[in-house]
Amino acid sequence: MARDEQLKERWGLVVEKLSKQFADGDTLDLDSIIYLIGVQELGQIHRDYKKDHKLDLMHIAICKLLEPYGFYEFDYVDEDGWPHYKVKEQLPFLKAGEQSVLMKEAIVNYFVETEYID
């Protein structure tokens, strides 16, 4: 199977499983999935988050997702339990479509590594 086809298939599986689990079957978008990963990485699942914390959660997720690509490196966890990352390499300029593909690939890899999907 070609790499693009495999990514499309696995992305569809991730969206389907997460949508069933967290959105009563409504289809989750990319940002919603990034947010869920941030909540997972923070580990404070049963909590309400204010708008600025939601952005912080998405930032945590993006750092975690792009860490294997060499863009970020885990630094420390603060006294409130929030993980912090440092920039190792600046992200290259990517068109919107290229950003989307990179994030989908990183998300699929994250869920393969966590054994949420095969």
Q: Residues 42, 81, 114, 20: what is their CA dihedral angle, to the nearest 10 degrees?
A: -20
**For residue 52, what are the domain limits?**
3-113
Tens of each residue's pLDDT in the chain, 118 residues: 577 899 999 999 999 999 999 998 799 999 999 999 999 999 887 778 888 889 999 999 999 999 999 999 999 999 989 999 999 999 889 998 899 999 999 999 999 999 999 8
Q: Is residue 66 part of a domain?
A: yes
Can you give the pTM of this predicted structure? 0.90
Q: Give which of 90, 103, 92 is closest to 34, Cα–Cα.
A: 103
Query: Total structural domains in the chain?
Result: 1
Examine residue 118 and state whether it is found in any structural domain, yes or no.
no
Q: Would you say 75 and 85 are in contact if contact means Cβ atoms under 8 Å apart?
A: yes
Structural contact between residues 8 and 108, judged by C-beta atoms closer than 8 angstroms? no
